[in-house]
Structure 1
């Protein structure tokens, strides 16, 4: 079983120190919600985020949406051969259930995640679709207990998708869920091997699609 962690993801509700900013209040009003109930999104909140601590790794929930669509739209997920976790920049973890069908529309996705942050769980009558827990990266790795932890980063050892895909069985794959920057020390201390895939840098959802396809080939073909 492969575990995928989208780590330090740019996914959080508007922090307290920004909730009184005019751009936040205006956007929240349009959505019919309180500022504390909406996702931080630099498409709307760019002015408010200026000077925010760790600004370059925050306010991009769309990255997580695209990554999750990539990871849940493939045979690997439908055959229950992968567990998916979203670790957020403020140390929360979203645990994805089996056979969850995420909305293709970003606006619907954002609404579901905002509800998840409020209620802590999204479920049907007979199954849990998504669950939110306060959890550090250390605690998440301890819970998963993988054979090895492999990360993909431009700073890693040069390799290719095919080679890394063959190493992933019973491992935990780490891909950053942020726009810019590097993994924090909290993440890197748990990584056994870090690889850089190819000479060209791709967005996280493209990397996830390509590496998971190569892993699929090792178990389905």
Structure 2
């Protein structure tokens, strides 16, 4: 075959291949267009998604009425129950009502705790000319100059006892009254509503202010939270009152067996020594008997807590 014909044949073959490629591309494009058209048609045939219906005013009013009825039933059921925990129907805690008149103090049954021989004494420093509460941690040299021991300056014991007593459920139920009788024969009445400072340093500052101003009032009103009162302690005790002293040397009793023996309409007065050690004859002139509540020697704070817990169980205070 001549060369010139071979050139023509190759050119024709190239044109044929180009036509084939062009045809295949057209087929692909047309197929894609058909698929797109079919998808669009199928979407048009499907119904649009339903939107959530807006609640009508009648339905909204019905739900509100049902909710109000349920709340009214709940409040009525709570108000019909006896209110033993000093709470109202809205579950807001209420402050316990304390006996104020002499008649109420005579008839209201409660626990009266007297912290005897409390180490609360102020000392004036020459350099700073300020008064501080004498304690064995900060005033060692002062105690040595005065010829006194560390046991004569332990106000931390009174602080611990007050926190145990005033934080107890018995006090929050309005069934506790606390008095402090210091080693210097100062008698202090503690209001059950007072909140004793948590830190010992702030407690010392409060006691210095009390011993010099003779009273501490609340910020909001004229209520006396702490005040110095006249001796003796017996004039503040009700007539129907069983008076005892906690002593390690006395006969040991179980409080759950001892408390039912006391008449049910009697208040209970407990004298507890707020000192590290020493004789327990501080209340022999006015107490009825001495008892021991443990076979072991207890600190004053533990004795306060143990007696309060026993009375909470006996008087059904939760």
**TM-score, length of structure 1 as denominator length:** 0.82
Q: CA deviation at 1:52?
A: 5.3
* Aligned-partner SS, 1:7: strand
Q: Partners in 2 of 1:172 and 1:51 — Cα distance?
A: 38
Q: How far, CA to CA, are the matches of 1:54 and 1:175 in structure 2?
A: 23
Residue 144 (structure 1) aligns with: 237
Offset, 1:96: 0.8
Gaps of 5+ in 2: 1-109
SS at match of 2:181: strand
- Based on CA coordinates, which of the two structures has the bigger radius of gyration? 2
Is the Cα contact below 8 Å between 1:155 and 1:196 reproduced in 2? yes
How far apart are the structure 1 equivalents of 2:290 and 2:171? 24
1:45 and 2:154 are equivalent in the alignment? no
Cα pair 1:152 1:197 within 8 Å, conserved: yes
Counterpart CA distance in 1 for 2:150 and 2:298 is 17
Counterpart residue number, 1:85: 179
The alignment partner of 1:43 has SS state of coil
Offset, 1:78: 1.1
Aligned partners of 1:197 and 1:211: how far apart in 2? 8
Partner of 2:310: 214
Provide Cα deviations, 1:73-92, integer angstroms capped at 9, x if missing partner: 01111111111101100110
Is residue 182 of structure 1 aligned with residue 291 of structure 2? no
| Other-structure match for 2:55 | none
| 1:173-203 superposed Cα distances (whole Å, 9 cap, x missing partner) | 111010110124x521212111122221121
Q: TM-score, normalised by structure 2?
A: 0.58
Higher strand share: 1
- Whether the aligned pair in 1 keeps the contact of 2:143 and 2:150 (CA below 8 Å) is no
What displacement does 1:163 show?
3.4
Unaligned runs of 5+ in 1: none
Matched, 1:172 2:269: yes
